[in-house]
Structure 1
């Protein structure tokens, strides 16, 4: 079966903007999506030249806002440009996704990923807060309390995916890998679509 490896950060606006489109493309081509939450800020950025948002030059920060508004309008996807809970520590959310993969499988983890992304960018919810994480998991028909209590069980998977991302030379999110070819960013989804169609 065709498999797309989906390296993601649950606090990334670009991951949010591409999430549902990725799933629609995969469904259209009969492809599976393997979510891979990674330590983008703490592990990937330091070795790839990336900077946290508040450390980027002002002109880069300003243009980011323009692009977020542009893509939100173009796609018709609601997005709060300045969410109340951002920047946010997303490590516990990422580990929750990893634990969901282990406990309930990829489809459940993808539902949870979408819900966490919406929580940050459309719903003004704090994905660093334990009660919020439990509630979001429950909304995805998962046992939120059990999933959160066991989130450290997802640490090994989270660390393994982060290591795999480093080996793949990932430097941002979202990052899609299919048949050994990498596609960085939701604005490369058309290229991924064409690669899937070519098979």
Structure 2
């Protein structure tokens, strides 16, 4: 079975705007997904990127236009300047890692729920109560928010190192074998690749 290695940040607006299309594509093509949350700011610093707030004004302005257009295109509501962005992505990432290790719930739903909390619901995904709500809504034990912290920290750091080594430089980023796809706007290409058409 083909595996999609999915590198993402739980506070990335473009990861939010992917919705759950990755999960639909994987299901349609009989592929599995390995969820690999990482520290996007550290990734930028390691791969030549710049955090949004440090970008030139023209790039910041374009980013807001693009987010607005992609929101309209996908039908996913977005607050372009959420109250809790940027925030510490580590706690929510640790919860995703713990949920993946435990199983039993909807992992794609958990990831999207965390992203939606940040980008559409004005909630701080660094807060324990928010993470617990997202875990419960996706069918996981809310206690995962406070367990497996060591595993979460170790895996979160390892995901970053792995990503840098494999040529990942942004989020969302999808890898199948040696084929790399950057951005939610490349999901159609990923789909075609899995079908053997690209």
- The alignment's TM-score, normalised by the length of structure 1, stands at 0.93
Q: Check if 1:87 corresponds to 2:81.
A: no
- Say how many residue pairs are matched: 197
Bigger shift: residues 9-18 or 45-54: 45-54
Paired with 2:18 and 2:115, the residues of 1 have a C-alpha distance of 10
1:191 is displaced (CA, Å) by 1.1
Which residue pairs with 2:38 in the alignment? 38
The residue that corresponds to 2:187 in the other structure is: 189
Unaligned residue ranges in structure 1 (runs of 5+): none
Q: Please list, as runs of the form range in 1=range in 2, the aligned pairs for 1:81-160 lying within 5 A after superposition.
A: 81-104=80-103, 108-160=106-158
Structure 1 stretches of 4+ with a deviation exceeding 2 A read: 107-111, 145-153
Residue equivalent to 1:53: 52
Structure showing the higher helix proportion among its residues: 1
Distance 1:143 1:181, change over 3 A: same
Name the structure 2 match of 1:3.
Answer: 3
| C-alpha distance after superposition, 1:134-189 (max 9, x if no partner) | 22212222111243233332222222211110101111000000121110101111
Which piece of structure 1 moves more, 143-152 or 17-26? 143-152
What do residues 90-111 of structure 1 show as CA deviations (whole Å, max 9, x unaligned)?
A: 1111111111111226x64322
| 2:8/2:38 contact within 8 Å kept | yes
Question: Does the Cα contact within 8 Å between 1:98 and 1:155 map onto a contact in 2?
Answer: no
Q: Which runs of 5+ in 2 are unaligned?
A: none
TM-score by length of 2: 0.93
